Amino acid sequence: MDGRSLPLLRTPVPGPRSRSFVDRLARAECPAITARRARRAAALGVADTDPIVWESALGANVQDVDGNVYIDLTAGFGVAAAGHRDPDVVAALHAQADTLLHAMGDAFPDPRRIELLERLQQLTGMDRAILGSSGSDAVEAALKTARVATGRDGVLAFDRGYHGLPYGVLVASDYKADAFRGPFAGQLGPHVHHADFGGALPDVDWLATHDIGAVLVEPIQGRGGVRVPPPEWLASLRARCDQAGALLIFDEIYTGFGRTGRWFAFQDVGVKPDLLCVGKGMAGGFPISACLGTARAMDAWGASKGEALHTQTFLGNPLGCAMALASIGSIERQLPEVLDKGEWLRERLHGLGLPVRGRGLLLGIELPDGPDALATSGALLQRGFIVLPSGEARPGDDPRRAVVLCLTPPLCITVDQLAAFVDALADVRASA
């Protein structure tokens, strides 16, 4: 496996060692976390869908504990944007580990944190940032910043948006709301309202009546099914926020760091938010995120009076900052090819008669006939390709359009690997 390898399967998928690990996992982990065989197998119409257990990864390849080699079309939820175990990221991790593993968050910074904040300023054109550990942290920091800056409690978010599952963001996430929000509804505040993503926007009076200080949106919805809003919709949203005095927050945790062919999707549509949330691919595997903002928004917090009003134990962890700096450097080298690879793949998929939506290497493949996205992802895994469905069918939806095969491969994936995927997809559909 050299990162550019094609799949090589040595055992059935999942193999015996994966199964045995997953049996142990099931005895030790909350059952709601990892999907196991009986439940999903029936849905997929395959014999056994226990997960494969990952042993190692490199570039666009993953190897499981049975020695099977896969092509990862997910980049591990978009995290390995620079490629799994990118050599520069690994070298930065080792070098940092030799000097400082942990500094002291808001109390005592270290040089890597300062260098990363400056690099993020340069990439985004934003003035200030708050670092966090997860994507949800970044969105929570943005929501708090908007509250501080506007003095308003109300938040407008959008149908099928996904912003994470901790309480502060769960109320804004709408993807699979019955399952994710339902059991906790009694503990969620009433301050978040949802409008149609890509649809008619509430008018200024409505925003004022509902005390809206923050409008939270993904420029392209990721988990919600790779949904791209109509052209000009984000610009209209910007204008509406300006009229209403609300802050516009772009959640670019999925779309950021080169995924759509630019550093950030907002640069593609030419609409600048007040606050920008990034995470996932930022450090290639270290849990680190950032909420960036304009000076106007961020400086509303005022200077620290000795006790940081928003912080975490691990804020700006030096390992994460060093890895992020290296990951950004690697993505910078790979970025010029992202749009071409995306276009190449899109054309090949059109050649199979499949509609594709998205931009760059964030693509959603509609499957108008044959096995649906869930069954197709199961069958692709059996052929050595890791790919996930995304989206949710709601009453009245065409489920074939709502739920797509979602592709977010490492940006370093090769055209040969993409071609092998297209062949495998064609094979799955022909054998159904």
Q: Minimum Å distance from CB 21 to ligand PLP?
A: 23
3-state SS class at 384: coil
Which residues are CB-contacts of 289 (< 8 A; sequence separation ≥ 6)?
131, 132, 133, 134, 135, 137, 138, 253, 277, 278, 279, 280, 282
Binding flag, residue 222, ligand PLP (CB under 6 A): yes
Report 164-183 residues binding ligand PLP (CB under 6 A). 164
Q: Minimum Å distance from CB 253 to ligand PLP?
A: 4
With respect to ligand PLP, which residue has the nearer C-beta, 258 or 279? 279
Q: Minimum Å distance from CB 163 to ligand PLP?
A: 5
Q: Minimum Å distance from CB 288 to ligand PLP?
A: 10
With respect to ligand PLP, which residue has the nearer C-beta, 74 or 376? 74
Q: CB–CB of 280/137 below 8 Å?
A: no
Nearest alpha carbon to residue 289 among 259, 261, 252, 258: 252
With respect to ligand PLP, which residue has the nearer C-beta, 216 or 420? 216
Q: CB–CB of 273/249 below 8 Å?
A: yes
With respect to ligand PLP, which residue has the nearer C-beta, 51 or 256? 256
Report 240-259 residues binding ligand PLP (CB under 6 A). 251, 253-254
Judged by CB under 6 A, the number of residues near ligand PLP is 14
Q: Minimum Å distance from CB 76 to ligand PLP?
A: 11
Burial zone of 189 (CB within 10 Å; 0-12 exposed, 13-18 middle, 19+ buried): exposed
Per the document, the length of the chain is 432
Q: Minimum Å distance from CB 388 to ligand PLP?
A: 11
CA distance 298 to 273: 13
Tell me the pairing of strands 388-390 and 404-407: antiparallel
Q: What is the DSSP string of 124-164?
A: H--SEEEEESSHHHHHHHHHHHHHHHH---EEEEETT----
Burial zone of 313 (CB within 10 Å; 0-12 exposed, 13-18 middle, 19+ buried): exposed
CA distance 174 to 166: 13
Taking residues 260 to 299 in sequence order and writing x for each that binds ligand PLP by CB under 6 A, - otherwise, the string is -------------------x--------------------
With respect to ligand PLP, which residue has the nearer C-beta, 96 or 221? 221
Binding flag, residue 364, ligand PLP (CB under 6 A): no
Taking residues 116 to 155 in sequence order and writing x for each that binds ligand PLP by CB under 6 A, - otherwise, the string is ------------------xxx--x----------------
Q: Which residues form the interface with ligand PLP (CB under 6 A)?
A: 134-136, 139, 162-164, 218, 222-223, 251, 253-254, 279
